[in-house]
C-alpha cells in the first residue's frame, strides 16, 4: 500500500471491463478454432461464449483488478486482467451448475445452458448432462487462463492458495444453500452463513485478495480489504434477495417467481417467518417452495414480507453494511484512484435494479 | 532416463498403493475436522471418503509414480505420491459426474453418490444436486492436493500444463461420449475417438506424463511414454467394454445391464452393427438403449456380438495393442524396476476381470 497520490489517474471501469471481455472472448475464440483441429465438439466453447456474451456485471473480475490497485500494484496489468477474466470464467462454472440445481429456466434474459441444450437435443437429461460438462470445462479453462497469465511462479503459487480457498468456500456455501430448506425456516444464522460463504467471501473478499496477492500485499492489506469486502458482499446479496422477489424481470433477466418457487431461505424470508402471526406463517409455509406458485400467490407472499417489516429490515441491513464497508475503506490510505473505484462499485452493488 | 541398473530395487506396487490411500484418507480426515471448525457440512468429505474407500484400481496414481521412475526420478518421492493421490481425487470427480450423466445406480458394488444422497434425503433432484457439488469439490480438492505437495514452483508450473491438458481431454471425451448416441451406430471412428480421449490419454498417457514432468523429463521421454500408453489405454478400455457386457457384477461392481441399457456406442457394439444382417441389426436397434432391457434381452444381444465375430475381433484388438505397448516399452532403456512395473501393470490392465 502506498501513500495516496493526488495526481494519480482515475481508474476507468468501463475500459477495464472491455479488456476483461476481450480476454474472455479471445480465449474462447481460440478454443473454438482448436476444437476444430482436435475434431472436438465446438459446442463447448460456443455455448460458453454465448453465455458470457449474454451479460453479467463482471463485479468479481473488476474487484480483482481493484484489489491489485488498492494493494499498490503498478505498471503492466496484463496478467492481472487475465486473472480477472479467469475469475469470470470460474463464475460461469458456478452459475451453470447452480442453474441445474435450482432448475432455473432463465438467466440473463435467455434460457439457461441446460435448458438450451435440452431444447436443442429434445432431451432433458442430455441437456443437464451436457451442461454439467460445460460447467466442468469452464472450471478447467478458468485454471488454464490463470496458468497462462504470465505470473512469475512464486506469485502464481500465492494466488493459487487464495483461489483454492475461494473454490472450497463457494462450493460449501452452495451445499449449505441446497440443504437449508431441510432445516427450520426461522434459522437466521444458517441464512447468514450461506450469504457469507456463497456471496460475501466469494463475490467480494476473494476477488480483492486475488488482486492484492498479485501486488505482493502484506497480510494486513488482506485483512483491511476484508473489512470492506464482507459487509459489502452481504449487502450485495441482501439486495439480490430483494430483487429476486421485488425486481423487474426485464432488468434482472430472471423470472420473479424463481426464488419463491424454489423456496429459497433468504434472510428476508427468515425474518418474515420469525415475525409472522399464525395466518401469515401458514401462508408462507403453504406457498413458499410450491412449484405451481403463480403471480397472485407471489403478491400474497410480498404482502407478508411488507406487513412483517421484513423488507424494511433488510433495507436497513443493506444500509448499515454499506456504511460499514465505506467506513472501512476510509480507514486505510489506499491509493486514491483505487479508493474512488471501490467506493463507486460499492454504490453500484447495493443500489442496482438488476 | 538413466541406463538400466541391474541391481535396482523392484517397485512394490502394493506398498505404493497403500501410501496413496494414506494421503487420500489423511487429506479427507483433515477436511472432515476442518468442516466442523468452519461449521460446514461434513457430508462433503465423508461422502468422498466412503466413495474412495469402496475400491478402485488406482491405476492412474500408480502410473503417475511409475512415470516418475521411468523418467529417472530418484530420491524422496513424497511430493510425487501426493500428486498421484491428486489424480485419484480428480478421478473421483469424473466418476461422480459420469454416474449422474449415465443415471448409474451402482458403482464399486455400492449405490452411486447421487443415489446415496437421493435416498438419504428422499429426493432425487436434491441427490443429483448434492452429487454435482461433491464432484465439484473433489475437483477443487484435487488441485489443493497438487498445490500443497511441496513441488518447487517451476516444477508445479510444468505439471499444471499437463494437468490442464488432461482435464480438457477427459471433459471433451466425455462430451463426445454423451453425444455419440445421436450419430449413426456404425461410426467406428467416433467410438475410437471417445476411447482415445476418455481413456487412453486420460487413464494412461497423462498420468505417466505427470510423473515424468516431476522428474524433469525431456520431450523425447514424454513421446516414448505415449507410445506405450496410448495402445495400452485403448486395450484397457476395450477390456472394460467387454467386461461391461460379459463381466460378472460381483467382480465389476456394476450391473451387467447398465452399458446396454444406456446404449453405449462402444467399439464392440459398432463392429457388431457394421457386420449384422438385417435381423441382427433390427435386434440391436430395438434392444440397445432400452431402459427396460432385461437379462433375456441382454443374452440376445450377446448372441449377436458373438455371432458377428465382434467379440473375437475386440479380443484380437486388445491383444494387438498390448503387444504394441510392450514393444514400445522394450524399445527404450527405462530403469529396470520401472520397466518391470509398467509391464506388470499392462498385464493387470488387460487381463483383469473387474
pLDDT at residue A201 in the model: 97
**Average pLDDT for A178-207:** 92
All residues of chain B having their beta carbon less than 8 Å from the beta carbon of residue A140 are: 164, 167-168, 171
Question: Chain B residue with minimal CA distance to A128?
Answer: B101
Banded pLDDT at B7 (limits 50, 70, 90): low
CA–CA dist A197, A241 (Å, integer) = 15
**Average pLDDT for A249-256:** 77
Whether pTM exceeds 0.80: yes
pLDDT at residue A7 in the model: 54
All residues of chain B having their beta carbon less than 8 Å from the beta carbon of residue A144 are: 164, 168
All residues of chain A having their beta carbon less than 8 Å from the beta carbon of residue B140 are: 164, 167-168, 171
Q: For residue B109, give every residue at least 6 positions away whose Cβ sits within 8 Å of its Cβ, in sequence order, or none.
A: B54, B55, B250, B253, B254
CA–CA dist B308, A212 (Å, integer) = 65
Nearest to A132 among B100, B143, B197 (CB): B100
Banded pLDDT at B85 (limits 50, 70, 90): very high
A97 contacts B103? CB cut-off 8 A: no
Nearest to B140 among A126, A164, A176 (CB): A164
Annotated domain spans of chain B:
13-351
pLDDT digits (tens, 9 = 90+) for A67-101: 999 999 999 999 999 999 999 999 999 999 999 99
Q: With H, G, I as helix, E, B as strand and everything else as coil, classify residue B289.
A: coil
All residues of chain B having their beta carbon less than 8 Å from the beta carbon of residue A168 are: 137, 140-141, 144
Mean pLDDT of chain B: 93
What ipTM is given for this predicted complex? 0.94
CA distance A153 to chain B (A): 5
Grid coordinates representing B188?
A: 467406428
All residues of chain A having their beta carbon less than 8 Å from the beta carbon of residue B190 are: none
All residues of chain A having their beta carbon less than 8 Å from the beta carbon of residue B104 are: none
B125 contacts A103? CB cut-off 8 A: yes
Superfamily of domain B13-351: Farnesyl Diphosphate Synthase (1.10.600.10)
Is pLDDT of B256 > 80? no
**Average pLDDT for B79-104:** 97
Nearest to A136 among B97, B161, B193 (CB): B97
Nearest to B132 among A100, A126, A172 (CB): A100
Q: With H, G, I as helix, E, B as strand and everything else as coil, classify residue A70.
A: helix
pLDDT at residue B1 in the model: 47
Characterise B55 by phi-psi region: left (phi > 0), alpha (psi -120 to 50), beta (else).
left
Nearest to A41 among B130, B134, B179 (CB): B179
Is pLDDT of A37 > 60? yes
CA distance B330 to chain A (A): 30
Closest CA to B199 of B140, B266, B251: B266
Grid coordinates representing B204?
A: 494412461
pLDDT at residue B259 in the model: 84
Higher pLDDT, B257 or A345: A345
pLDDT digits (tens, 9 = 90+) for A125-136: 999 999 999 999
Share of chain B above pLDDT 70, in %: 98
pLDDT at residue B255 in the model: 74
- A134 within 8 A of A96, measured Cβ to Cβ: yes
Is pLDDT of B51 > 90? yes
Q: Which residue has the cell 457388431?
A: B272
All residues of chain B having their beta carbon less than 8 Å from the beta carbon of residue A125 are: 103
A136 contacts B144? CB cut-off 8 A: no
| Chain B interface mutation, best of A40, A48, A169, highest count of B Cβ atoms under 10 Å | A40
A97 contacts B133? CB cut-off 8 A: yes
pLDDT at residue B346 in the model: 95
All residues of chain B having their beta carbon less than 8 Å from the beta carbon of residue A183 are: none
b/e burial code for range A286-311 (CB count within 10 A of at least 16 → b): ebbbeeebeeebbeebbebbeebebb
CA–CA dist B26, B33 (Å, integer) = 11
**Average pLDDT for A46-64:** 95
pLDDT digits (tens, 9 = 90+) for B321-346: 999 999 999 999 999 999 999 999 99
Question: Chain A residue with minimal CA distance to B129?
Answer: A101
| Chain B interface mutation, best of A47, A136, A148, A161, highest count of B Cβ atoms under 10 Å | A136
CA–CA dist A25, A49 (Å, integer) = 7
Q: For residue A273, give every residue at least 6 positions away whose Cβ sits within 8 Å of its Cβ, in sequence order, or none.
A: A185, A186, A281, A284
Does an H or E element contain B110, and which? strand B110-111
Is pLDDT of A13 > 50? yes
B97 contacts A175? CB cut-off 8 A: no
Share of chain A above pLDDT 90, in %: 81
Higher pLDDT, B40 or A218: A218
pLDDT digits (tens, 9 = 90+) for A268-322: 999 999 999 999 999 999 999 898 999 999 999 999 999 999 999 999 999 999 9
Question: Chain A residue with minimal CA distance to B117?
Answer: A179
Amino acid at each position: 500500500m502506498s501513500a495516496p497520490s493526488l495526481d494519480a489517474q482515475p481508474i476507468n471501469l468501463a475500459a477495464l471491463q472491455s479488456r476483461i471481455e476481450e480476454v474472455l472472448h479471445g480465449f474462447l475464440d481460440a478454443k473454438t478454432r482448436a476444437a476444430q483441429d482436435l475434431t472436438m465438439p465446438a459446442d463447448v466453447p460456443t455455448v460458453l461464449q454465448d453465455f458470457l456474451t449474454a451479460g453479467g456485471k463482471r463485479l468479481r473480475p473488476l474487484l480483482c483488478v481493484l484489489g491489485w490497485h488498492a494493494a499498490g500494484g503498478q505498471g503492466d496489468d496484463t496478467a492481472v486482467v487475465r486473472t480477472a477474466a479467469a475469475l469470470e470464467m470460474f463464475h460461469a462454472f458456478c452459475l451453470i451448475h447452480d442453474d441445474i440445481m435450482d432448475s432455473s429456466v432463465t438467466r440473463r434474459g435467455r434460457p439457461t445452458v441446460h435448458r438450451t441444450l435440452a431444447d436443442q437435443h429434445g432431451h432433458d437429461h442430455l441437456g443437464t448432462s451436457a451442461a454439467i460438462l460445460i460447467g466442468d470445462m469452464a472450471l478447467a479453462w478458468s485454471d488454464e487462463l490463470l496458468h497462462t497469465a504470465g505470473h512469475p511462479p512464486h506469485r502464481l503459487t500465492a494466488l493459487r492458495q487464495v483461489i483454492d480457498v475461494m473454490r472450497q468456500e463457494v462450493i460449501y456455501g452452495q451445499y449449505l444453500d441446497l440443504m437449508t430448506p431441510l432445516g427450520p425456516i426461522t434459522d437466521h444464522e444458517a441464512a447468514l452463513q450461506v450469504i457469507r460463504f456463497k456471496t460475501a467471501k466469494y463475490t467480494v473478499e476473494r476477488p480483492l485478495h486475488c488482486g492484492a496477492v498479485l501486488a505482493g500485499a502484506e497480510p494486513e492489506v488482506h485483512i483491511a480489504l476484508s473489512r470492506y469486502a464482507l459487509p459489502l458482499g452481504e449487502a450485495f446479496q441482501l439486495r439480490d434477495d430483494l430483487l429476486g422477489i421485488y425486481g423487474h424481470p426485464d432488468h434482472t433477466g430472471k423470472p420473479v417467481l424463481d426464488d419463491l418457487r424454489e423456496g429459497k431461505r433468504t434472510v428476508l424470508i427468515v425474518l418474515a417467518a420469525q415475525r409472522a402471526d399464525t395466518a401469515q406463517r401458514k401462508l408462507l409455509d403453504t406457498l413458499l417452495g410450491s412449484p405451481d406458485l403463480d403471480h397472485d400467490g407471489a403478491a400474497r407472499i410480498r404482502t407478508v414480507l411488507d406487513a412483517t417489516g421484513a423488507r424494511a429490515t433488510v433495507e436497513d441491513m443493506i444500509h448499515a453494511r454499506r456504511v460499514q464497508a465505506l467506513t472501512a475503506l476510509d480507514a486505510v490510505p489506499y491509493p486514491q484512484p483505487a479508493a474512488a473505484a471501490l467506493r463507486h462499485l460499492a454504490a453500484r452493488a447495493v443500489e442496482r435494479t438488476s
